[in-house]
Amino acid sequence: MNDSSPSAQETPAAPPASTPSGSQTLLRGLDVLEAVADGPIPLIELAPRLGLNRSTAHRLASALVERRYLAFVPRVGYRLGPKLLELGFLAQGQTDLVQLARPHLEALAAATEDTVHLGVIEEERALYLDKIPGRRRIEISSRVGDRHPLTSTGLGKALLLDGEGEEWLRLFQAEDQAGHRGVDYETWLQRMRNYVAAGYAFDLEENEDQIRCVAAPIRDASGGIVAALSVSSAAQYMSDERMEALTPQVRNTADAISRDLGWAPEESEAGRSANRRNKAKRTRRLW
């Protein structure tokens, strides 16, 4: 039997009585897209994966091919189509990171009463895109638009968590020569290895005296780090114990923003773990 042609003996499965047929068809169509997202798949494998008979699976897939959400390759099967690429570019252009993140940052600032920053890497510096002032009577000197060192700020270190040893060493040496000296490289490197394993980073008064912060990376749909956020306060409010206690809140907020950007942790964690293992092998000589 040809995979591209449904059997005349098979009949479509009826949707559950409790679900409108239009909604059921839409959900099944989305299931088809998610199944094909893993790679090209022939109809003979697609139908059982979705729990559908071949006739129903073929009808759904054909409709998606007609609308260019899927493409059919003979002897290979169905793959994602050009329409999804177009929509992806449009969605990316419509996503304003600051606007999307702002409600999350405000909630975090209100919960912690501390200053919250959002930043990205620009020209090998941490560029602050947003700042939500805290309620405490302390002054955090940062401003939106400021650029700070990557290796001595918590936010900067969070942005570097997917980096390689060679990149870390180069950045550390450049910033060390510029006068940004918090700790020696071996100490800094060991801390970074711990931060990578934990998924967050600290600033232990390395960038500014009496200021400490907890930071976490923000990821997009690819799983890569595209931004980071931090909670900053005076050292008197940031004991070691409180910094540890803040990490779940900071990470959860970063993860919530990441999910809004399309990040799916269950799909990208395996790939990131493999990348980290490979990077560890390449950089082992540095420590």
Average pLDDT over residues 184-206: 93
Number of domains in the chain: 2
Predicted local confidence at residue 278, as pLDDT: 45
Task: Indicate which CATH number applies to the domain containing 63.
Answer: 1.10.10.10
Among 88, 116, 132, residue at a domain's last position: 88
Looking at the fold, whether 45 and 84 belong to one and the same domain comes out as: yes
Angle between helices 240-260 and 97-112 (to 10 degrees): 150
**Reported confidence tier of residue 10, pLDDT bands at 50, 70, 90:** very low
Q: Which residue has the higher pLDDT, 14 or 175?
A: 175
Predicted local confidence at residue 6, as pLDDT: 41
DSSP letter (8 states) at residue 223? S
Q: Answer yes or no: is pLDDT of 50 > 70.
A: yes
Looking at the fold, whether 77 and 210 belong to one and the same domain comes out as: no
d(CA 44, CA 170): 52
Angle between helices 54-66 and 21-36 (to 10 degrees): 80
Q: Report the amino acid identity of residue 9.
A: Q
Cα 260–chain centre separation: 9
Best CA proximity match to 136, nearest among 115, 160, 159, 155: 115
Average pLDDT over residues 236-240: 93
Looking at the fold, whether 166 and 244 belong to one and the same domain comes out as: yes
Residue 63 Cα distances to 14, 118, 237, angstroms: 18, 42, 59
Best CA proximity match to 159, nearest among 98, 229, 106, 101: 229
Looking at the fold, whether 122 and 65 belong to one and the same domain comes out as: no
d(CA 78, CA 56): 15
Q: Answer yes or no: is pLDDT of 112 > 80.
A: yes
E strands in 136-192: 147-148
3-state DSSP percent of the chain in helix, strand and coil, to 5: 50, 15, 30
Residue 276 Cα distances to 66, 68, 146, 155, 287, angstroms: 40, 36, 30, 20, 15
Examine residue 3 and state whether it is found in any structural domain, yes or no: no
Examine residue 2 and state whether it is found in any structural domain, yes or no: no
pLDDT digits (tens, 9 = 90+) for 73-110: 998 999 999 998 888 777 766 668 999 999 999 999 99
**Reported confidence tier of residue 2, pLDDT bands at 50, 70, 90:** very low
Q: Answer yes or no: is pLDDT of 284 > 80.
A: no
pLDDT digits (tens, 9 = 90+) for 143-152: 898 899 999 9
Examine residue 7 and state whether it is found in any structural domain, yes or no: no
pLDDT digits (tens, 9 = 90+) for 125-134: 999 999 999 9
Give the range of the structural domain holding residue 171, as residue numbers without chain letter.
95-286
Global confidence as pTM = 0.67
Predicted local confidence at residue 48, as pLDDT: 93
Provide the sign of the torsion angle of the four alpha carbons 230, 231, 235, 238, taken in this order.
Answer: negative
